[in-house]
Amino acid sequence: MTPQNASTYHSAPTLPSQSGVQRARVRPVQKPWGTLNLLPWSRFAANGTPVGELWFDRTEDGGDASDLLIKLLFTEQRLSVQVHPDDTYARSLGQPNGKTEAWYILSAQPGAQVGLGLTSSLSASQLRAAILDGSVADLVDWRPVATGDVIFVPAGTIHAIGPGLVIAEIQQRSDTTYRLFDYGRGRALDMERAIDVADAGPAKSQQQPDRLNATRTILVDNALFVIERITLAASLPYQLTASGETWIMGVDGSLKISGITLGPGEVAFMNNGGAEIVSDLSGAVALVIQAGPHTAPSLAKEPAQQEILV
């Protein structure tokens, strides 16, 4: 069954590529758990200070007004045990929205893990005690991950990320994080607000990827964003048509969208209109991320290769 926000791949007349496609601007963010070597995902030089995140923004004026924030995370150590507020709680504090996110695992060393939810349910008083004595870190439900996995993290879910990972994080545009445990790094905890917003129990079941055809797999589909993985055949042009805020991230191989080349870890942005997207001679894999509540973008082969894909 096609998910509620999913588009249909269809034969369509070629649309002119729009000038609105732009390469995203990259902002490095230093983190104590980050890395000095971002290769092969980025050529940015850390210059002796660990970089934990790369943030991608629109390059045009007012670019920070986008609904979503796309990041790359590079983990050499465990991140803090943390939780994010939902829209209602965030707005009660005067913030525009909360923070629901999803992680796509770009690279995972053997044994890499993420923490999602707790192993058992705690009352507010039990969670407070676990934060105060540090035992909350031992209650996190750690699970192994591998390259290509996707994890949905709704607001209110207690979570953590282990070392040895490169992750594409897709999230609501917010940097509000309430820490419950920080592995002795000396950063402030946010116990009372964390208790207020946390669903202090096991995480909800994950949505399973929905492979619609050889080109397209829906990974995450909700009212806030839709994440698709597209697998492009070698040198075969497609027409990507977007309505609303859309991000394209290279995952494997090399592709061009409206003449902008994207390798692994590189990102482009488009809003409305059409753009030709084509891989190199080896094919390519990319993520296409659509902000909700718009209909997800469509992808059709160019006329010389047209066929009904669903």
Q: How far apart, in whole angstroms, are the C-alpha atoms of residue 101 and residue 144?
A: 19
Unique residue bearing structure tokens 């060393």? 109
Integer Cα distance of 97 and 90 in angstroms: 6
The terminus-to-terminus CA distance of the chain in angstroms comes to: 11
Among the options 58, 78, 128, 179, which is catalytic? 179
CA 99 vs CA 123, 150, 174, 283: distances in Å = 23, 17, 6, 34
Q: Which amino acid is at 111?
A: G
Task: Pinpoint the alpha helices (H) of the chain.
Answer: 87-92, 124-133, 136-139, 191-197
Tokens of 165: 């990972």
CA quadruple 67, 255, 7, 100: dihedral sign = negative
Which of 297, 280, 279 is closest to 288 using CA atoms? 297
What is the C-alpha separation between 99 and 171, in angstroms, rounded?
Answer: 6
Asked about 229 being catalytic, the answer comes back as no
Helix (H, G, I), strand (E, B) or coil at 15: coil
Tokens of 12: 């369509």
Q: Which residues are the active-site residues? A: 179
